[in-house]
Amino acid sequence: MKVSMLDLVAQYAKIKEEIDRAIAEVIESGQFILGPQVKALEQEMASYCQCPYAVGVASGTDALHLALRACGVGKGDGVITSPFTFIATAEAISYIGAIPIFLDIDKDTFNLDPNQVEDFLKGRLKSPGWTSRRRPKAILPVHLYGRSADMRALMEIASQYDLKVIEDCAQAIGAEHGGQKVGSFGQAGCFSFFPTKNLGGYGDGGMVTTQDAQLAEKLKILRQHGSRTRYYHEELGFNSRLDEIQAAILRVKLRHLDAWTEGRRRIADLYRRELQDGGVVVPLDDPQGRHVYNQFTLRVPRRDALQIFLKEREIATMIYYPVSLHQQKVYRDLGYGDGNLPRSELAAREVISVPVHPELAPEQVAFVADTIRSFLGKR
């Protein structure tokens, strides 16, 4: 039985008529960039994320980059973030000349640990990457794998130290913390519509959600060459627009998102039941919120051997992420060394994500779990 990480072809087969109609309508309209579909998706995303405003952009990376810029983060500013994430989180900080301050993660949730943030801001913890005496400007938490970071604690710290909060929601659309949707806590929530995300387009795309009308306006200017009125340019901007075909596809998919998320949550429960008798650490459901399982990520000491074992039995897996960002070559200049952020480093050695997409059949989930158990000698 072959099990793939994703099955977007099977997903398409289920919604083919709706998708084909939506794409055809855009083509027949002759309007391809920033038109009525983008505007409608922005309204629907804003409402879905419990925010008054949402601004479509070209990718999740651009959402982060433009949100930081629009929040006034700039050259030399410190931005506290997780080192255990996709590179785009830190790249966005670096694009604007700011400096990522990597602090360690919580070992159970894989998300930025608020205690580390507090210790750092109180001066009880040093970070090799930030020697300045200035207070950092922002926190950029990542809701990794679809589980919200501890936003209550992080928002409290941010308010105490007057820091902006830009949320990386790329993997977590629809996730909640204390009944509140991610992307509605900080100044800005940044989403990716990369095809592997829970709400994925048929190409690149992204969105920023915000409570702040001025910030939304600023983002609209930045995404369109620094221009409010065509051919009048107030500031240096970018070409970062969401296209109509992607927006039309995403509007169709958004209508199915909650059902798909419930499918992911059911599969996660099934895995948890099947794998509860030890040997691997399974991710806990979030007792304070709604985990949306963009990934179902196990921890296992003999991770590489398990990956080979599963591959030989045609079960796909992925390692998100094999190297913590503070140990990446691109960030060598920041001066972090091995052992600086031990929980992130250990996670990079132990994590393995197994298929959790909603098109999986229960027999496939049972097969994956059974194969893992047989690797562990626990069948």
Give the interface with ligand PLP as residue ranges (CB under 6 A).
59-61, 85-86, 88-89, 142, 168, 170-171, 192, 194, 204, 206
Nearer to ligand PLP, 121 or 249 (CB): 249
Tell me the sheet residues that pair with 138.
79, 164
Which tokens hold the place of 246? Answer: 């992607």
Least separation in angstroms between residue 244's CB and ligand PLP is 18
What amino acid is encoded at 63 in this protein? A
Least separation in angstroms between residue 362's CB and ligand PLP is 27
Nearer to ligand PLP, 61 or 127 (CB): 61
Q: Computed from CA positions of residues 149, 257, 294, 271, in that sequence, does the dihedral angle turn out positive or negative?
A: positive
Nearer to ligand PLP, 192 or 297 (CB): 192
Nearer to ligand PLP, 79 or 369 (CB): 79
Least separation in angstroms between residue 130's CB and ligand PLP is 21
Nearer to ligand PLP, 206 or 289 (CB): 206
Nearer to ligand PLP, 194 or 260 (CB): 194
Backbone angles phi, psi at 78, to 5 degrees: -90, 135
Which tokens hold the place of 357? Answer: 């997409």
Least separation in angstroms between residue 112's CB and ligand PLP is 12
The residue sitting closest to ligand PLP, measured at its beta carbon, is 60
Least separation in angstroms between residue 307's CB and ligand PLP is 20
Secondary structure (DSSP) of 32-70: -BSSHHHHHHHHHHHHHTT-SEEEEES-HHHHHHHHHHH
Least separation in angstroms between residue 297's CB and ligand PLP is 13
Which residue has tokens 């992204």? 206
Contacts of 214 by beta carbon, 8 Å cutoff, 6+ apart: none
Nearer to ligand PLP, 74 or 195 (CB): 195
Taking the C-alpha atoms of residue 248 and residue 245, their distance in angstroms, rounded to an integer, is 5
H helix or E strand, kind and range, residue 89:
helix 87-95
Q: Is 158:134 a contact under the CB 8 Å cutoff?
A: no
Q: Is 347:297 a contact under the CB 8 Å cutoff?
A: no
Least separation in angstroms between residue 230's CB and ligand PLP is 27
Taking the C-alpha atoms of residue 189 and residue 112, their distance in angstroms, rounded to an integer, is 16
Taking the C-alpha atoms of residue 199 and residue 341, their distance in angstroms, rounded to an integer, is 32
Q: Is 174:48 a contact under the CB 8 Å cutoff?
A: yes
Nearer to ligand PLP, 170 or 282 (CB): 170
Nearer to ligand PLP, 241 or 275 (CB): 241
Least separation in angstroms between residue 348's CB and ligand PLP is 15
Classify residue 140 by its DSSP letter.
Answer: E
3-class state of residue 111 by DSSP: coil
3-class state of residue 23 by DSSP: helix
Which tokens hold the place of 219? Answer: 């983002």
Least separation in angstroms between residue 289's CB and ligand PLP is 17
